[in-house]
A and B are shown apart, each in its own frame.
Chain A
Amino acid sequence: MEAHSSEVFVIGLTVFFLACIIGYYVVWSVTPALHSPLMGVTNAISSVIIVGAILAAGPQGFDTSKIFGLIGVVLASVNIFGGFLVTYRMLSMFKKKTKKTKEKE
């Protein structure tokens, strides 16, 4: 059991470091003009924590853990919808601009 759980941890750690490296290169490639939308998107995707909240809220019946889970689902949903929508609003402004001006010119 102990060996197994430490193995799981090492796999997690491997994934973690590789993801950090991918994140490092991907984020440096983001154009500075889009740093605000970047925060919007990262904000939305970090709410993938909703996965944990759903697992906690999953079982039938009501107990402490389920209530915590449901609160977690609400909080994460605010972020997911809010984060993606506000990013969408920002990005559509960036896009519209070029089109509009090109039409004008």
Chain B
Amino acid sequence: MVAILYLISALLFIFALRGLSHPESSRMGNIFGVIGMIIAVFTTLMFKSVLSYYEIGAAILIGGAIGSFIALRIEMTALPQLVAAFHSLVGLAAVFVAAAAFYDPVAFSIGKVGSIKTASLVEMSIGTFIGAITFSGSVLAFGKLQGTISGKPIVFKFQHLINAVIFLLIIFLIILFVINQSPTIFWTIVIVSILLGFLVVIPIGGADMPVVVSMLNSYSGWAACGIGFTLSNNLLIITGALVGASGAILSYIMSKGMNRSIINVVLGGFGGEQDTSASKDNSDKIVKQGNAEDAAYIMKNADSVIIVPGYGMAVAQAQHALREMGDILKKEGIEVRYAIHPVAGRMPGHMNVLLAEANVPYEEVLELDEINHDFPMTEVSFVIGANDVTNPAAKTDESSPIFGMPILDVEKSQSVLFVKRSMATGYSGVDNELFYRDNTTMLFGDAKKMCEDIVKSLSA
């Protein structure tokens, strides 16, 4: 009976993910997920060994209240941090469950204290190891995304060698743990894994965060899998594998969006190496500056506008003002569409959520390969808070660190409007030659303020 209920729960989780293939079916998918979770929890509560309903109920209420409070209050621009924070909790929960299994193996029928089955010990320590890495890695990612810790990659000598040595040390500790089952060694594995989690994320820069967040997503799944093997629980194994696969695919898509291998991202140090290649001097080139009225004029006289949003739009919370601008243009009979680069923002799909929040219909929001061939037929590209993802150097300059990265071909449209705070380079540290082209107009200022001003000029 239990096995069947768990199976139903696992199937519902698969349907939950399947629902996300289209916005229309996605809400139902989320409901499937909720039902699956309710079934899983109540099935477990029915176990004969589970008696302390009050304590467990209280724990669920406390956790649920905290989780609900955060989820309902969070700003959509802060989603990446939130997801990172949530990942850290999954990792930590995995560590606690593994610890509980170690201290009370009878409750999980995996042996007795001091004589736990070898296979269970191996699985337990692997679950602990991945859980602890997920925890500390996510905490650090959270700090970087939130801005409490510098987003700059921190690189030091022998970094990879140190990580490799720590990894070998953990394997050694796991072997030792399996042999003598000592609590001291168990907690040493936890601490050393936490340290490794920090070290793995520390060299990764702000722009690589979409990959890191996806990767940690994947880890949290593998951690659940490890615990699933420990408890011989198929539901945990299936769910963990689904989440692990999902995170891995997202990491792959994100690193492909930057034309880098996952290994390259994990080894890190992206922001630290470009000094050499970014040194091309552009100070003598002329930049054409414009203001909101110029932008309004240019767009009003166009037939089609493609808006390219980036992380800068999120930072400035400009999505609502931007949508207002789009609405006015649409009323004028101008075709307005949005082009999303896979790595725009700080997590996969970040821009889509922000535009959805601002009531932009999702039919107007297109992915890179859906819209890229339309730029030559487009009169105005309006780039707001994006930079590297439009840089033609990715196609032409082999020495550029972003060479080979797929870009949105805004350069092919008749004119380009660039909303930027300053002439600063993007996160990759590379200068963008688009700024100096004749058909480019730079609009310096805060993204939100600029959109509001354009709206004013358009309605005037």
Contacts and interface: CB of A to CB of B under 8 A. Distances in A.
B34 A84 contact: yes
A26 B32 CA distance: 15
A68 B103 contact: yes
B93 A59 contact: no
B348 A38 contact: yes
B433 to A, nearest CB: 28
A66 to B, nearest CB: 7
A59 B23 contact: no
A23 B56 CA distance: 31
A57 B107 CA distance: 9
Nearest to B22: A31
A47 B349 contact: no
B249 A28 contact: yes
B100 A52 contact: yes
Contacts of A34: 20, 23, 26, 349, 352
B201 to A, nearest CB: 17
Contacts of B348: 32, 35-36, 38-39
A41 B30 CA distance: 7
Main secondary structure of the interface of A (DSSP, over half): helix
B37 A78 contact: no
A68 B63 contact: no
B362 interface: yes
B165 to A, nearest CB: 30
Contacts, number: 386
A19 interface: yes
Nearest to A43: B86
B289 interface: no
A45 B240 CA distance: 8
Interface residues of A, number: 86
Interface string A14-26: 0111011011101
A92 B104 CA distance: 43
A70 B55 contact: yes
Interface string B119-153: 10000000000000000000000000000000000
Contacts of B178: none
B208 to A, nearest CB: 16
Interface residues of B, number: 116
Given A16-B225, A60-B51, A78-B66, A5 B117 contact: yes
A44 B340 CA distance: 26
B68 A81 contact: yes
B386 interface: no
Contact of A48 (B63, B101, B235): B235
Between B90, B225, B253, the greatest number of chain A beta carbons within 10 A of the residue's beta carbon is seen for B90
B60 to A, nearest CB: 5
Contact of B245 (A24, A35, A43, A66): A24
A19 to B, nearest CB: 4
A58 B92 CA distance: 19
B108 interface: yes
A36 B347 contact: yes
A34 B356 CA distance: 11
A36 B227 contact: no
Interface in A46-77: 46-60, 63-66, 68-77
Contact of B20 (A41, A44, A65, A84): A41
A49 B93 contact: yes
B90 A12 contact: no
Contact of B237 (A15, A50, A91): A15
A82 B239 contact: no
Nearest to A1: B117
B245 A23 contact: yes
A67 B74 CA distance: 30
Contact of A31 (B21, B36, B249): B21
A20 to B, nearest CB: 5
B234 to A, nearest CB: 5
B83 A39 contact: yes
A49 B246 CA distance: 17
B217 to A, nearest CB: 6
Interface in B1-59: 9-10, 13-14, 16-18, 20-24, 26-27, 29-30, 33-34, 36-37, 40-41, 44-45, 47, 49-52, 55-56, 59
Contacts of A71: 93, 96
Given A48-B235, A84-B34, A98-B23, 16 more contacts: A19-B242, A34-B23, A35-B253, A41-B17, A42-B246, A43-B217, A49-B97, A50-B40, A52-B101, A54-B45, A59-B49, A65-B101, A79-B67, A82-B86, A90-B76, A98-B363
12 contacts: A23-B17, A41-B29, A45-B242, A46-B224, A52-B97, A52-B108, A55-B107, A56-B108, A65-B99, A66-B55, A69-B100, A76-B89
